[in-house]
Amino acid sequence: MAESHPVELTSALARACRDVRFDALSADVLFTAKQCVLDWLGVTLGGSHEPLAQILREEVRDQGGAPQATLIGVGDRVSAPQAALVNGASSHALDYDDVCLAMSGHPSVPVLPALFALAEQRGATGREVLAALVAGVELECRVGMLVMPAHYGIGFHSTGTLGTFGAAAACAHLMGLEQEQWLTALGIAGTQAAGLKSMFGTMCKPLHAGKAAQNGLLAATLAARGFTANPEVLDVAQGFTATQTTSPNPERALHGLGEDFAIRNVLFKYHAACYGTHETIEAVLRLKRQHNLAPDDVEAVRLVVPQGHLAMCNIQEPTTALEGKFSLRFTAALALSEDDTSDQAFTDEHVRQPGLARVRDRVSVATREGGAAQGWEGTQVTLQLKDGRELQQSVNLNEPATDLDLQWERLAAKFQSLAGPVVGATAAGRMLAAVRDFEQLDSLNDLVALASPAGVHA
C-alpha cells in the first residue's frame, strides 16, 4: 500500500475550498453549478418513488426525528441527516445523475442532498448554497485526482467514498467553519467513507450516495461541536490515501488548485444507465439512425470499450432493471431496438423481454489495453449486417460541453420529463425558473415546497 508523503494535502485542499467565494466565481462555473442543481432535483424527483426510496422512507419514519428538512418528491419533513440519506439515495436510484471523471463518480448526489438539508435547517441563501456546492465538488474531485485510478480499480465506489469528503466540505463551507474545524470534518468524513463496486446493480449503489451525504453532513456538524479527528487524513500513515490507493498523485491533486474548478468538468447524462454505457448507446443510435436500421438487419454487434468498463458495467445477462443499467450488452440491444433510453426503459419486465434478450445475445464486448490514465478513452461499435456490410462508429464522451446554453436546454427538457409526472407541469415550470435564478433565492423554502405533489398547488 502507499506510504505517507510529506505534502500537507489535507490542509492545502481544505484551505483552497474554504476560500471559495461566490463573488469570485466565473459566470460559467456558476451556470454549471445551477445546472447541477437542476439535474439533481430532476433525478431526485424521478427516483423518489423507486422501491429503495420507499424502503428508506419507511425506515426514517419509524426512527422519528425533528422536522428539519424535506424529502424531495413526497414532502415529508424529517431530520436533516435523514433527509440527506433518503434524498441522496433517491437521486442516484435511476443512475441518471451527473458524472465527473476526476473522481470517476457522481459529484452532485453526495453533495447536494447534504447541502439542501443543511440549508433548509439554517435558512441559507441561494448564493451561499452555490458557493458551497462548488467547494464540495472541488474537494471530492481533488481527492479523486489524488487516489485515482487505483482507488476505483481496487473496487471502491468513489461516489460513496470521495462523496463523503465532498459533502463534508460543502457543509463546512455553508457553516463557515474555521480551518481547524475543516480539517477535523475531513478526518471524520474520511473514517466514514465507504462504498463497494461489488454492490453495483443492487440497491446498495444508490445507498452509497445517501450515506455519503448523511455522513458528510454529520462530519461537519460534529466538527462544529468540537468532536476530534486526525487533521491529516490524506497525509498520515494508515490514513485515507495510504489505505485506499496504491498510486497516490499529490501533484495532480494540487495542480491548478484555486484556479481551475472541477465543477466545470461535470458531464450530464441523457440516458438512464451507468455512464460507462453511454458511448455504446450513442454510437449504436447514430449508426441506426444514419442507416435506417432495424434489429433484424444486424447479425452481430461488437463493442470495444475501455478496460475499466469490464468491472463497472459488463453484466452479461441482466435480469433486473438495476442490472440492466450496468450491462453494455443490454444497453446496446436497447439502443438498437428502441429510441427510448430514459428511466422508463429500465424496468424488470423490459430487461427480461425475450425480443431484447435475443438482440442482446448478438452483442460481444472486448477491451483494449492502455489508453487514458483513468480508462475513459472512448468506445468503438461495429455493426455486422446480414447483407455483409460492416458499419463502425467511435464515440468519446469525456469532454464537458462548451455551449452551456444548449446544455441548459437539454437539461431543462430532461428535468421536465422527470419532474412533471411527480409534481405536475406547473410546479415543474416554477422550479425550473427558480433554479435559473438560484442566486436570487433568499432561502430554499419555496423551491423545496414545489418539490412534492402538493407543490402543484403551492
Task: Give residue-wise pLDDT tens across range 263-291.
Answer: 999 999 999 999 999 999 999 999 999 99
Condensed to tens digits (0 to 9), the pLDDT of residues 62-106 reads 999 999 999 999 999 999 999 999 999 999 999 999 999 999 999
Given a cut of 70, whether residue 302 has pLDDT beyond it is yes
- Helix 9-18 with 179-192: angle, nearest 10 deg: 120
Which pLDDT score is estimated for 312? 85
CA distance 9 to 251: 10
Phi, psi angles (nearest 5°) of residue 397: -110, 35
Cell of 424: 405536475
Number of Cα atoms under 13 Å in the Cβ half of residue 384: 9
pLDDT-derived band at 5, boundaries 50, 70, 90: very low
> Residues with Cβ < 8 Å from 390, sequence gap 6 or more?
382, 383, 384
- Residues 313-353 pLDDT 10s: 999 999 999 899 999 999 999 999 999 998 889 999 999 99
For residue 3, pLDDT over 80 is answered with no
Cα–Cα distance, 79 to 70 (Å, whole number): 8
pLDDT in tens, 207-246: 999 999 999 999 999 999 999 999 999 999 999 999 999 9
- Per-residue CA distances from 268 to 115, 116, 446 (Å): 20, 20, 26
End-to-end CA distance of the chain: 55
Percent of the chain with pLDDT over 70: 96
With cut-offs at 50, 70 and 90, classify the pLDDT of residue 453: confident
Rg of the Cα atoms in the chain: 21
Q: Where residue 371 falls among pLDDT bands split at 50, 70, 90? A: very low
What rounded mean pLDDT belongs to the chain? 94
* CA proximity to 2, closest of 234, 241, 179: 241
Beta partners for 384? 300, 390
Fold of 9-265: 2-methylcitrate dehydratase PrpD (1.10.4100)
Q: What is the pLDDT of residue 4?
A: 44
pLDDT tens, 185-215?
999 999 999 999 999 989 999 999 999 999 9
Domain 275-395 falls in which CATH fold? 60s Ribosomal Protein L30; Chain: A; (3.30.1330)
CA distance 433 to 439: 12
* pTM for the predicted model, two decimal places: 0.91
pLDDT of residue 369: 63
307 band by pLDDT with thresholds 50, 70 and 90:
confident
Each domain of the chain, given as residue ranges in start order, spans: 9-265, 275-395
Cα–Cα distance, 91 to 44 (Å, whole number) = 4
For cell 428502441, the residue is: 338
Report the SS3 class of residue 232: coil
Query: Which region, left, alpha or beta, applies to residue 239 given φ > 0 means left and ψ of -120 to 50 means alpha?
Result: beta
With bands split at pLDDT 50, 70 and 90, how would you rate the model's confidence at 311?
A: confident
pLDDT at 7: 53
pLDDT at position 442 over 50:
yes
CA distances from 373 to 141, 143, 145, 217, 367 (A): 15, 16, 11, 32, 15
pLDDT at 454: 66
Backbone angles phi, psi at 124, to 5 degrees: -75, 155
The grid coordinates of residue 193 equal 467513507
Res. 368: pLDDT tops 80: no
Helical pair 204-225 and 51-63, crossing angle rounded to 10 deg: 40
Cβ atoms of 16 and 256 closer than 8 Å? no
